[in-house]
Chain A
Amino acid sequence: MEQNHEQEQQKIDFKLWKEIFKYTLPMKNQMILLAVLMVLVAVIDVVFTYMTKIAVDHFILKETLEGIKIFGIAYLVLIIALSASVFAFISVAGKIETGLTYAIRKEGFKRLQELSFSYYDNKAVGWLMARMTSDIVRLGEIISWGTVDLVWGSTKMVAIVAVMLYLNWKLALISLVVVPFLAITSLYFQKKILKEYRLVRKTNSKITGAFNEGITGAKTTKVLVREEKNLEDFSQLTSSMRGSSIKAAIFSSLFLPIVLAFGSIGTALALWFGGIAVETHGVSYGTLVAFISYTILFFEPIREMARVFAEFQSSHASAERVMSMINTEPEIKDTQKVILKYGDSFNPIKENWPEIQGNITFKNVSFHYNPEEPILSDFNLEIKAGETIALVGETGSGKSTIVNLACRFYEPTEGEIFIDGVEYRELSQLWLQSNLGYVLQSPHLFSGTIRENIRYGKLDASEVEIIRAAKLVNAHEFIMKLSNGYDTEVGDGGGLLSSGEKQLISFARAVLANPKIFVLDEATSSIDTETEQIIQKAIQKVLKGRTSFIVAHRLSTIRSADRILVIRKGKIEEMGNHNELMNKKGYYYRLYTNQFIEEEEQKVLKTK
């Protein structure tokens, strides 16, 4: 979505790359080793061709085989040395690539764990995934293999030029006339090619989107009889894909012939002037042969280096996106003082953590994402430890915001929130959140077994504790019915279990954590009546003795709350227990009766 704005930048931002190269510091020795190896490989490459010259001048022209053994042994030593260095440089570059990718990824993941919810609000999971996977891989590749090609390429070119100049400087200058042209066209083409392929990729993702739509929307398509029109639209897309792919391919296939042509001009010049030189100035045959080989050899490094430069430029966007993610400061941060006392999110100092009671006070709290649209203003609420608060209201009324503020997923833009009488910004985030239980509307399970998922609530929980938690929420029974019991894999995101079962597991997980504050973002999804009743019972048990917030939809849950808050436009419109609010005959009364009808109706229609 934003890629459009992230077109390639014309100049390379050195500060950015410096920052990325920072990650290679721990591997400094390997980087140096790699550079040395590449120089070695390049030099050996050049020496090989020189061997041909020796062969021609020494053996063939003199028509002697004297010293051929030494020559053969030298040759053998060279190829073994070359193979060994090839092995070494690929290994080292691989080490650097994987090490770098690993390090950046680690840093990125850690940062993601610290960033506040506000950061996630406007970023799709897919977007973040792409930063953490393909973008980082790209950086690792360009830095390791880019270095390989740059060092190898430049050394090789320097070495070739040096040898050529040494052999015959005039002939060298003549043969190398084409080099600048070659370098410029190479760079131009590589950039162009990369750009074209980017366009192809963009079109390709559109095609994927269209397939997605075509498949998930197939039923609608049938009903609307849109098959032909859809195909027409799709066909346009594939045609433009075809067009841009061919265009990209044309650029690539234009590139090689042009490089070859320039190359052959170099070779031809060497042949022409070299030939004359052989005739008139006593240049040796071997030199001529070496020159011809060198001119052919010269063009590969140029091509490679042009490619690396172009790739550096195009991976600029990746670098920028990754670094901006890593460099984002979390909005909600513990102060230095708090960290010193209680530790940070990764290294808590649990000895200093106070015991939590669960009293929560909102004092003159305001909150907004942008100042023009306040979500809460001057909100006051006092919750005693152990109280159950149900929040009722339309989507966007601000009831979720209240919960998010209480959990310190967001902080108030104005006003204060006290936990057990202490402003919560003077306490550590992890402390509060470790005392928090959270059951989501759509319960989120991690892939792994049921046991592992329940244990997430308390990492050192014993088997007995896990089963006790499961029994408490009545999940034990259904778990035992599964063929693998607690060892059943829940599958990606829990796809193999029904949503009711997933909820029960997430309740068990929450119970195991034994939190003092509990948040229940209740599901509206349809669950069969039997499971529904089990869940109801589980909820009652879980809420007991904890300060809890319920963003509720089920009447039974709401009804049993100690206090019900009707939130409208960031304000408390009605407050009281069920009976009080029913007598008021206000918003709650209407909502309740409507819901009541719907639930009863569902019962009749579902028990069939």
Chain B
Amino acid sequence: MAAIISIGIATLFSLVGPLIIRITIDSVIGQEELNAPILIANMIDKIGGVAFLRRNLWIPAVVLVSFTLLRGIFLFYKGKWSAEAAETVAKNMRDDVYDHLQHLSYQYHVNAEPGDLIQRCTSDVDTIRRFLAAQFVEIGSAIFMLVFSAYIMFSMDVKMTLISLALIPLIFGFSIVFFRKVKKAFKLMDEAEGSMSTTLQENLTGLRVVRAFGRQSYEVDKFEEKNSINRDLTYKLIRLFAWYWSVSDLICMFQTGMVLIAGIYWTSVGNITLGTMVVFLTYIGMLLWPIRQLGRVITDMGKAMVAIERIQEIMIQEKEIMEETGNQPPITGSLSFKNVEFQYEEGKTVLKNLTFDVKEGETLAILGATGAGKSTLVHLLTRLFDYQKGSIKIDGRELRTIDKKWIRRNVGLILQEPFLFAKTIKENIGLGKNEATEEEIYEVAKVASIHDVVTGFNQGYETLVGERGVSLSGGQKQRLAIARTLISDTPIIIFDDSLSAVDTETDASIRRALKERSSRATTIIISHRIATLAEADKIIVLEKGEVVQMGKHEELLKQPGLYKRIWDIQNSGEEEETKITIDKYAN
């Protein structure tokens, strides 16, 4: 708002300058009668009349400079305030979108296309910001300029004004038509550029293929083609602009010429003064540019609207409510599933009829084929999804009535493919707990068998990981994720196949260390390794969403089924070694 006002004021001041020049030329230097608003006439009279000014020509000069300065001040504030407004809006929009995205459901993120989302969050927001910061202001100042100058011009001379404004609609119309047209050319050029980049990118990523087939010269030809298409289309676009500028220059100059000739005529006839003519010429010069720009801005407005829509599409997605009921009971970790059923969509049941119990501090192990529903089962426990039928009770309370935020704070779920943030290792582990001390970080890192790896890095715990940092192996990432979850000391910990990329020995030592920890959490482990599963208090075998076997290691071995088959395979090769491992940890 302040920005708009200052645009208006700045425009007003910019129009005053020529008027000062006019009065000076006509009445001070020339002999014309003073033809100024009463207010100004009075002021001039007070300081000693026109004659005084004539003797002291520096006064109008100083007045001119000070008005320009005043205008400058408002121009500055216009720039500053409109930037502040636009940037604040952009900041809030970014924050809102980011926050909203974080609170969208798990399912949404499973299906989302990150590339598209990032595009919306960055370039679409930027389009809106640009619109607010520059284009909006431009529209404003063009309108102010037109209205004010038309008013002043009309009050000076109606006929001259009509002539001065005669071609303005034409210029405006022409630029709108042109920018509509140019949009297509832009799109074509964009596509050509995109296709050229794709060729380049494929060449660079496929370096080995290109070299192995000795296709360098073929690639050069291919790129050459795209490169020249891009060149030609870009040139075509520039050519269009050449037409635009030359034709609109022609119209503008013609307009100026009309003013000049008409001005000469009326001035020599004596209808208007020389100063008035100069004012008209100056005003026309000031008006033409913004009017030409207006065509572009109006065409661009469409883009901003589309961008707003695209962001809206994200914002209308339903958020997860983290604190729904305010129910945040203490959780110790006993679980009870009763006839639990779940489906992602109607008719596709993923889990059915699940019934089992896990006592506080016990370990539950889950074995199952790909797609049997293991991950879904543990996801239910963190309320990433909500079960549709049956009941899950934590410490006797129905899971669905407990706040999501509270549940997730108390259930540590370690994903199979954990995501590491672009931070240091220390910070990544520390994510699990606010203000974790170094000792705590080292302790959990040791439990997760990652401490020695980390201290082996040049920068130790300060090593950057994530996109721009060192690349860690899958197993190392999993171990970091384990440490990150352990540090939060949740009463329930779930390993969703999160030891899959860790070798058998490390796997064993992590489990050993976990057992030795003083606070023993209720643990759920999903794994394919019998050695990992064997020592659990209870093992369930899932098949197509149903529990087909349940019991201890020894019991399951006696039954035919998946568990026994896997055991046989794992035992066949390394009979001695596997046995040793199992014997060692099974009891």
Interface residues of A (CB under 8 A from B): 1, 48, 51-52, 55-56, 59-60, 62-65, 68, 71-72, 75-76, 78-80, 82-84, 86-88, 90-91, 93-95, 97-99, 101-102, 105-106, 109-110, 112-114, 117, 120, 125, 128-129, 132-133, 204, 207-227, 229-231, 234-235, 238-239, 241-242, 245-246, 249-250, 252-254, 256-258, 260-261, 263-265, 267-269, 271-273, 275-276, 278-279, 285, 288-289, 292, 296, 345-347, 407, 409, 430, 433-434, 436-438, 440, 444, 446-447, 456-457, 459, 492-493, 506, 509, 513, 519, 593-594, 596-597, 600-601, 604-608
B411 CB to closest chain A CB (Å) equals 9
Q: Is the CB of B261 within 8 A of A245?
A: no
Chain A residues with CB under 8 A of B489: none
Query: Given the interface contacts A82-B249, A217-B421, A242-B88, does A250 sit within 8 Å of B80 by beta carbon?
Result: yes
Chain B residues with CB under 8 A of A117: 207
Assembly CA distance A234 to B197 (angstroms) = 31
Q: Does B472 contact A (CB under 8 A)?
A: no
Q: Does B357 contact A (CB under 8 A)?
A: no
Chain A residues with CB under 8 A of B261: 68, 71-72, 75
Chain B residues with CB under 8 A of A208: 118, 122
Q: Is the CB of A129 within 8 A of B79?
A: no
Q: Is the CB of A83 within 8 A of B247?
A: yes
Q: Is the CB of A212 within 8 A of B253?
A: no
Q: Is the CB of B409 within 8 A of A245?
A: no
Q: Is the CB of B218 within 8 A of A222?
A: no
Query: Given the interface contacts A106-B227, A261-B72, does A601 sit within 8 Å of B245 by beta carbon?
Result: no
Q: Is the CB of A292 within 8 A of B94?
A: no
Query: Given the interface contacts A52-B281, A264-B68, does A211 sit within 8 Å of B218 by beta carbon?
Result: no
Q: Is the CB of A433 within 8 A of B231?
A: no
B interface SS class: helix
Q: Is the CB of B207 within 8 A of A120?
A: yes
Q: Is the CB of A594 within 8 A of B79?
A: no
B419 CB to closest chain A CB (Å) equals 4
Q: Is the CB of A79 within 8 A of B254?
A: yes
Q: Is the CB of A215 within 8 A of B109?
A: yes
Q: Is the CB of B91 within 8 A of A239?
A: yes
Q: Is the CB of A513 within 8 A of B213?
A: yes
Q: Is the CB of B109 within 8 A of A218?
A: yes
Q: Is the CB of B572 within 8 A of A597?
A: yes
Top 6 A-B residue pairs of the complex, sorted by shortest distance between their CB atoms = A253-B79, A257-B72, A94-B238, A249-B83, A438-B212, A608-B369
Assembly CA distance A55 to B574 (angstroms) = 105
Query: Given the interface contacts A213-B422, A227-B103, A493-B202, does A271 sit within 8 Å of B118 by beta carbon?
Result: no
Which of B54, B208, B224: most chain A CB closer than 10 A? B208
Assembly CA distance A113 to B261 (angstroms) = 63
Assembly CA distance A78 to B256 (angstroms) = 12
Chain B residues with CB under 8 A of A82: 249-250, 253
The 8 A CB mask of B103-128 against A (1 = contact, 0 = none) is 11010011010100110011000100
Q: Is the CB of A216 within 8 A of B202?
A: no
Q: Does B455 contact A (CB under 8 A)?
A: no
Chain A residues with CB under 8 A of B264: 55, 59-60, 65, 68, 71
Q: Is the CB of B213 within 8 A of A457?
A: yes
Chain A residues with CB under 8 A of B243: 87
Segment at the interface with A among B56-64, B155-163, B329-337: B56-64
A460 CB to closest chain B CB (Å) equals 11
Interface residues on B, range: 35 or more
A300 CB to closest chain B CB (Å) equals 11
Q: Is the CB of B118 within 8 A of A113?
A: no
B542 CB to closest chain A CB (Å) equals 10
Assembly CA distance A265 to B57 (angstroms) = 14
Q: Is the CB of B71 within 8 A of A257?
A: yes
Q: Is the CB of B60 within 8 A of A271?
A: yes
A121 CB to closest chain B CB (Å) equals 11
Q: Provide a sorted-by-A list of 7 A–B residue pairs whose CB atoms are within 8 angstroms.
A: A52-B281, A91-B242, A102-B231, A112-B204, A211-B118, A456-B215, A608-B543
Q: Is the CB of B200 within 8 A of A267?
A: no
Q: Is the CB of B574 within 8 A of A594?
A: yes
Out of B71, B87, B235, which one reaches A95, CB within 8 Å?
A: B235
Q: Is the CB of A227 within 8 A of B322?
A: yes
Out of B69, B218, B269, B467, which one reaches A459, CB within 8 Å?
A: B218
Q: Is the CB of A446 within 8 A of B206?
A: yes
Query: Apart from A51-B260, A60-B267, A447-B202, what are 16 other A-B pairs with CB-CB below 8 Å?
Result: A56-B274, A63-B270, A82-B249, A86-B246, A90-B242, A125-B205, A207-B94, A211-B98, A213-B419, A217-B421, A219-B109, A225-B409, A234-B94, A245-B90, A246-B80, A444-B208
Chain B residues with CB under 8 A of A64: 268
The 8 A CB mask of B194-226 against A (1 = contact, 0 = none) is 000110111111111111111111111001100
Segment at the interface with A among B24-32, B36-44, B290-298, B441-449: B24-32
Assembly CA distance A409 to B202 (angstroms) = 19
Chain B residues with CB under 8 A of A105: 227
B465 CB to closest chain A CB (Å) equals 12
B29 CB to closest chain A CB (Å) equals 5
Q: Is the CB of B95 within 8 A of A231?
A: yes
Q: Is the CB of A238 within 8 A of B528?
A: no
Assembly CA distance A226 to B431 (angstroms) = 8
Q: Is the CB of A289 within 8 A of B25?
A: yes
Assembly CA distance A65 to B270 (angstroms) = 12
Chain A residues with CB under 8 A of B254: 79
The 8 A CB mask of B313-343 against A (1 = contact, 0 = none) is 0000000001000000000000000000000
Chain B residues with CB under 8 A of A250: 76, 79-80, 83
Out of A220, A241, A273, A456, which one reaches B415, CB within 8 Å?
A: A220
Chain A residues with CB under 8 A of B212: 407, 433, 436-438, 519
Q: Is the CB of B408 within 8 A of A225?
A: yes
Out of B133, B220, B230, B282, which one reaches A346, CB within 8 Å?
A: B220
Q: Is the CB of A215 within 8 A of B238?
A: no
A410 CB to closest chain B CB (Å) equals 12
CB under 8 Å from chain A, chain B span 247-280: 247, 249-250, 253-254, 257, 260-261, 263-265, 267-270, 274, 277-278
Chain A residues with CB under 8 A of B569: 597, 600-601, 604
Chain A residues with CB under 8 A of B249: 79, 82-83, 86
Chain A residues with CB under 8 A of B204: 112, 120, 125, 128-129
Q: Does B384 contact A (CB under 8 A)?
A: yes
Q: Does B582 contact A (CB under 8 A)?
A: no
Out of B61, B88, B122, B543, which one reaches A207, CB within 8 Å?
A: B122
Chain A residues with CB under 8 A of B79: 249-250, 252-254, 256
Assembly CA distance A605 to B372 (angstroms) = 10
Out of B75, B101, B202, B570, which one reaches A214, CB within 8 Å?
A: B101
Assembly CA distance A487 to B432 (angstroms) = 51
Query: Given the interface contacts A52-B260, A346-B216, A594-B573, does A440 sit within 8 Å of B209 by beta carbon?
Result: yes
Q: Is the CB of B415 within 8 A of A219?
A: yes
Query: Given the interface contacts A125-B204, A242-B88, does A608 sit within 8 Å of B370 by beta carbon?
Result: yes
Query: Given the interface contacts A222-B408, A269-B61, A608-B370, does A1 sit within 8 Å of B468 by beta carbon?
Result: yes
Q: Is the CB of A288 within 8 A of B235?
A: no
Assembly CA distance A268 to B208 (angstroms) = 69
Query: Given the interface contacts A51-B260, A109-B220, A216-B114, does A285 sit within 8 Å of B78 by beta carbon?
Result: no
Name which residue of chain B comes closest to A438, CB basis.
Answer: B212
Query: Given the interface contacts A94-B242, A113-B220, A224-B484, does A267 sit within 8 Å of B432 by beta carbon?
Result: no
Name which residue of chain B comes closest to A513, CB basis.
Answer: B213
Q: Is the CB of A444 within 8 A of B245?
A: no
A129 CB to closest chain B CB (Å) equals 6
A25 CB to closest chain B CB (Å) equals 18
Chain A residues with CB under 8 A of B405: 225
Chain A residues with CB under 8 A of B468: 1
Q: Does B52 contact A (CB under 8 A)?
A: no
B80 CB to closest chain A CB (Å) equals 5
Assembly CA distance A597 to B568 (angstroms) = 10
Chain B residues with CB under 8 A of A128: 204
Chain B residues with CB under 8 A of A223: 382, 384, 408, 412-415
